[in-house]
C-alpha cells in the first residue's frame, strides 16, 4: 500500500507530456522484476534450460499461441477426438552393390571342342560353370579340373561384362535361361541346369525357367573308363587262407656274417627271420655290450633271388615284381651253406625247434644239421702305433693330398671318418721352445737391383718352420720387413704327396735354399747355430759343420792355412767390430750405457744378434 502510494505520488508530479503518458497497467503497477532461472542440476551435472517466462514472469512471445493455432482451437479437430492415423516411414535407399553383394547366379553348361586329325575322337564335351554377379552384372566362366586330362583347365574367361551384340549391349540376368546357347567370344556354351538359389531368384523376378537338361558324357572318356577284360585265369590261391594258416609262424636261423673284406676284417653274428605269412625276410645283428652298433641290419621285406633282364638300368629305378623272376623261399635256406642276400654272405649255422619241425614236415629231403660256429677270427686289429709322432712328420705312400688344408690335414682325414685336426708333438715344442737357428742370406737373382738386398733366415726347432726377414737398405727403394712367415719349405724336386722339407743339416754356409721360386745363398750364421749342431753332430753332415767352423773361425789350428775367403771374412768382421766400437765410444759421450747401445744396434740390424 505504501509502495503504490509512492508510485501514484510520483506519477502526479510527472509533467503532462506525451512521453510520460504510460498505460495504467504497465510498469507503474509491476512489483516483480526477477529474471527466470535457466540453470539447474541433473544427476549431479549443471544443465541449462530454455526459459519459459520473461523478466518478472511475463509471458514470452515464443510461448504464446499464434493466430492460426487460436483459430484451429475454435474449429472442430477430429484428430484430438479420434486420434491421428499412423503414417509409414519411407524406406531407405539401398544401392545395388549393397543389396546384391555376394549374390551370384550359377549355371552349368558345356561346349563342344572339335578334335582334328584324331581317329579316336571327333569332338570333345567339356563342362563349364557360368557365374553371374548381380552386384555389377559381370560374368565369368570356369572349367572344372579333371585329373590326367592334359588340358588347360580352370579359369577360361575372367570376370567381366560379356558383350551381347555389336551395338554395345551386354548380357543381363534376364537374358539367361536353361536350354539356351550363350555365345561368348565365338564359343557357344549350352546351359543345362542351375543351382537352387538361381532358380529361386529367377522365379521371384517373374522369369519362368525351362526344364533342366542332363550333362552329356564325353564319348572318349566313356570309352577310356570301360574296364579292360582279363584274359588270364585268376589264381585259386587265397591270400586270406595263407594268412589264416601261416600267421605267427616264423623260421628263425642263426647265421654268421662274413665281413672280412671290410676295413676291420671281422665276422658278426646275426639272426635271420623268415615270415611264412608273406615270404619276407628280416635280419638283425646279435646285440653285444659296448659294441657301438645298432642291432638292426635289414628291415622286413621280400628278397629277390633272380632278376629278369631289363633294357633299362636297374640301379636307377626301384625293383618291382615285374622285374623279379624269383624270390627267396624256405627251400633256399640250408644249414651249413652260405646264402647271399643283397651282396652280403651269411653262413647258416643253426635254427630253432619250430624251423626243424617245419623242414621235416614240408622239406624232408633237406638235412637241418647244425654247423659248428667258427670262432671269431680276430677282434679288431690292435691299433697301430701313432703315425703322427710329431706335428710335421714325413708321410708314407698310404695317404694322398686332397687339396684342403695342409698335408697333415689330408693324412688325418684318412685315419677317421670325422675330420680331426692334425696331432702335435707337444713334448718337442716344450723342449725346443725359444730355440731358433739364425742365418744371414743374400738373394741369388739375375737382376742387379737385388744384389744389395740382405735377409735373415730363421729356423724354429719347435715346429721345423722357417721365416725370412729382409733388412732395411738405404737408398734401395725396397721396404724391408717380413718376407716370409713361419712355414715349412719343401726341397726342390719333392712331390706334393711325399714332400721332403729343409732341415738344419741342409743349411751349410754357401748353400742355396730355394724358397717358392726365390733362391737364397747362406752367407753367415749365428754362433748358437754351431753350438747346437755340434750337440747333435751325429745327425748333421760333416761338410755343414766344417763350413760353419770356417765361417765363425772356430776349431782352426795355427798350422792350418787360412783360406782367402776365410781371411776376407775375418777382416770384414774385424772392420765391423771396429765400427761398432767407434759407435759405442761416440754414444758413450751422450751418457748411454753399453746395454742400451747394444740393444739399439741389434734392433737396427747394425750387427747380427
Say whether both 107 and 204 belong to one domain: yes
Instruction: Kindly state whether residue 418 falls inside one of the protein's structural domains.
Output: yes
**Which three-class secondary structure state does DSSP give residue 574?**
helix
Average pLDDT over residues 501-530: 91
Which segment, 81-95, 224-238, 343-357, 393-407, is predicted with the most confidence on average?
Answer: 343-357
pLDDT for res 69: 82
- pLDDT above 90 as % of the chain: 27
Say whether both 440 and 519 belong to one domain: yes
Total count of domains within the chain: 6
pLDDT for res 213: 93
Least confident of 223-232, 384-393, 410-419, 496-505: 384-393
pLDDT above 80 (res 535): yes
- The C-alpha angle 329, 330, 334, rounded to 5 degrees, equals 120
Instruction: Kindly state whether residue 559 falls inside one of the protein's structural domains.
Output: no
pLDDT for res 172: 92
pLDDT above 80 (res 123): yes
Average pLDDT over residues 376-392: 39
Phi, psi of 517 (to 5 degrees): 90, -10
**Residue the block writes with cell 622286413:** 300
Domain end marker among 513, 528, 552:
552
Residue range(s) defining the domain that contains residue 423: 386-427
pLDDT for res 525: 92
Q: Which residues pair with 139 in a beta bridge?
A: 132, 160
CATH code at position 135:
2.30.29.170
Say whether both 579 and 474 belong to one domain: no
Say whether both 43 and 156 belong to one domain: no
Instruction: Kindly state whether residue 66 falls inside one of the protein's structural domains.
Output: no
pLDDT for res 437: 92
pLDDT for res 596: 53
Q: What is the C-alpha to C-alpha distance for residues 571 and 551, in angstroms, rounded to an integer?
A: 12
Domain end marker among 377, 412, 427:
427
Say whether both 215 and 132 belong to one domain: yes
Instruction: Kindly state whether residue 368 falls inside one of the protein's structural domains.
Output: no
The CA R_g of the chain, rounded to the nearest whole Å, is 58
Say whether both 393 and 439 belong to one domain: no
Give 523's DSSP letter. E
Say whether both 100 and 219 belong to one domain: yes
Other CB atoms within a 10 A radius of the CB of residue 509 amount to 23
Say whether both 355 and 255 belong to one domain: yes
- pLDDT above 70 as % of the chain: 77
pLDDT for res 493: 85
Cβ atoms of 281 and 274 within 8 Å: the answer is yes
pLDDT for res 523: 92
Instruction: Kindly state whether residue 232 falls inside one of the protein's structural domains.
Output: no
Say whether both 395 and 471 belong to one domain: no
Q: What is the C-alpha to C-alpha distance for residues 27 and 43, in angstroms, rounded to an integer?
A: 39
For 230-244, what is each residue's pLDDT tens digit?
A: 777 766 666 677 777
Instruction: Kindly state whether residue 63 falls inside one of the protein's structural domains.
Output: no
Which segment, 205-209, 372-376, 496-500, is predicted with the most confidence on average?
Answer: 205-209
Phi, psi of 103 (to 5 degrees): -110, 115
Domain end marker among 223, 249, 265:
223
pLDDT for res 603: 52
For 277-310, what is each residue's pLDDT tens digit?
A: 888 999 998 888 777 777 888 889 888 888 777 6
Say whether both 449 and 462 belong to one domain: yes
pLDDT above 50 (res 480): yes
Say whether both 149 and 187 belong to one domain: yes
Mean pLDDT of the chain: 79
Residue 191: pLDDT band by 50, 70, 90 thresholds? very high
Say whether both 189 and 211 belong to one domain: yes
Q: What is the C-alpha to C-alpha distance for residues 189 and 180, in angstroms, rounded to an integer?
A: 8
Instruction: Kindly state whether residue 40 falls inside one of the protein's structural domains.
Output: yes
For 195-241, what is each residue's pLDDT tens digit?
A: 999 999 999 999 999 999 999 988 888 888 888 777 777 666 666 77
Average pLDDT over residues 53-78: 82
Other CB atoms within a 10 A radius of the CB of residue 105 amount to 19
pLDDT for res 485: 92
pLDDT above 60 (res 575): no
Instruction: Kindly state whether residue 509 falls inside one of the protein's structural domains.
Output: yes
Q: Which residues pair with 142 in a beta bridge?
A: 129, 155
Residue 92: pLDDT band by 50, 70, 90 thresholds? confident
Amino acid at each position: 500500500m505504501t509502495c503504490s502510494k509512492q508510485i501514484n505520488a510520483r506519477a502526479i508530479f510527472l509533467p503532462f507530456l506525451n512521453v510520460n503518458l504510460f498505460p495504467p497497467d504497465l510498469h507503474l503497477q509491476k512489483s516483480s522484476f526477477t529474471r527466470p532461472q535457466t540453470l539447474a542440476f541433473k544427476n549431479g551435472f549443471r544443465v541449462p534450460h530454455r526459459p519459459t517466462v520473461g523478466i518478472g514472469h511475463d509471458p514470452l512471445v515464443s510461448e504464446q499461441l499464434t493466430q492460426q493455432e487460436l483459430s484451429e482451437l475454435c474449429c472442430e479437430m477430429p484428430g484430438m477426438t479420434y486420434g491421428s492415423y499412423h503414417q509409414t516411414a519411407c524406406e531407405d535407399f539401398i544401392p545395388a552393390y549393397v543389396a546384391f553383394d555376394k549374390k551370384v547366379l550359377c549355371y552349368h553348361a558345356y561346349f563342344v571342342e572339335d578334335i582334328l586329325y584324331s581317329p579316336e575322337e571327333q569332338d570333345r564335351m567339356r563342362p563349364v560353370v557360368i557365374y553371374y554377379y548381380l552386384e555389377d552384372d559381370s560374368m565369368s566362366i570356369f572349367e572344372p579340373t579333371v585329373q590326367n586330362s592334359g588340358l588347360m583347365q580352370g579359369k577360361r574367361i575372367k570376370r567381366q561384362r560379356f558383350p551381347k551384340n555389336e551395338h554395345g549391349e551386354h548380357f543381363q540376368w534376364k537374358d539367361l535361361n536353361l536350354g539356351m546357347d550363350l555365345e561368348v567370344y565365338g564359343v557357344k556354351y549350352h546351359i543345362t541346369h542351375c543351382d537352387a538359389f538361381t532358380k529361386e531368384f529367377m522365379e521371384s523376378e517373374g522369369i519362368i525357367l525351362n526344364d533342366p537338361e542332363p550333362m552329356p558324357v564325353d564319348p572318349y572318356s566313356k570309352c577310356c573308363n570301360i574296364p579292360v577284360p582279363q584274359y588270364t585265369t585268376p589264381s585259386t590261391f587265397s591270400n586270406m587262407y595263407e594268412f589264416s594258416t601261416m600267421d605267427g609262424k616264423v623260421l628263425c636261423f642263426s647265421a654268421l656274417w662274413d665281413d672280412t673284406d671290410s676295413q676291420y676284417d671281422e665276422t658278426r653274428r646275426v639272426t635271420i627271420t623268415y615270415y611264412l605269412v608273406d615270404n619276407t625276410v628280416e635280419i638283425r645283428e646279435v646285440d653285444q655290450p659296448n659294441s657301438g652298433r645298432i642291432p638292426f641290419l635289414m628291415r622286413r621285406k621280400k628278397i629277390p633271388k633272380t632278376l629278369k633282364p631289363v633294357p633299362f638300368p636297374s640301379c636307377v629305378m626301384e625293383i618291382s615284381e615285374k622285374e623279379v623272376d624269383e624270390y627267396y623261399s624256405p627251400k633256399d635256406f640250408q644249414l651249413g651253406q652260405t646264402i647271399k642276400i643283397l651282396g652280403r654272405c651269411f653262413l647258416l649255422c643253426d635254427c630253432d625247434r619250430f624251423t626243424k619241425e617245419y623242414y621235416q614236415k614240408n622239406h624232408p629231403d633237406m638235412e637241418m644239421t647244425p654247423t659248428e660256429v667258427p670262432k671269431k677270427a680276430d677282434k679288431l686289429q690292435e691299433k697301430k702305433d701313432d703315425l703322427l709322432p710329431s706335428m710335421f712328420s714325413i708321410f708314407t705312400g698310404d695317404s694322398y693330398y686332397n687339396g684342403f688344408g695342409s698335408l697333415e690335414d689330408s693324412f688325418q682325414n684318412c685315419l677317421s671318418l670325422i675330420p680331426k685336426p692334425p696331432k702335435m708333438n707337444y713334448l718337442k715344442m716344450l723342449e725346443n721352445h725359444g730355440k731358433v737357428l739364425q742365418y744371414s742370406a743374400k738373394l741369388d737373382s739375375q737382376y742387379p737391383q737385388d744384389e744389395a738386398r740382405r735377409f735373415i733366415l730363421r729356423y724354429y726347432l719347435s715346429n721345423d718352420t722357417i721365416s725370412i726377414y729382409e733388412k732395411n737398405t738405404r737408398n734401395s727403394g725396397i721396404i724391408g720387413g717380413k718376407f716370409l712367415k713361419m712355414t715349412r719349405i719343401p726341397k726342390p724336386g719333392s712331390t706334393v704327396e711325399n714332400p721332403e722339407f729343409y732341415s738344419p743339416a741342409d743349411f751349410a754356409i754357401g748353400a742355396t735354399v730355394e724358397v717358392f721360386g726365390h733362391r737364397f745363398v747362406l752367407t753367415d750364421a749365428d754362433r748358437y747355430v754351431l753350438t747346437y749342431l755340434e750337440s747333435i753332430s751325429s745327425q748333421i753332415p760333416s761338410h755343414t759343420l766344417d763350413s760353419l767352423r770356417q765361417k765363425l773361425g772356430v776349431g782352426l789350428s795355427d798350422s792350418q792355412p787360412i783360406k782367402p775367403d776365410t781371411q776376407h771374412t775375418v777382416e770384414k768382421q774385424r772392420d765391423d767390430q771396429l765400427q761398432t766400437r767407434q759407435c759405442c765410444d761416440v754414444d758413450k759421450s751422450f751418457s748411454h750405457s753399453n746395454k742400451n747401445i747394444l740393444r739399439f744396434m741389434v734392433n737396427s740390424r747394425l750387427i747380427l744378434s
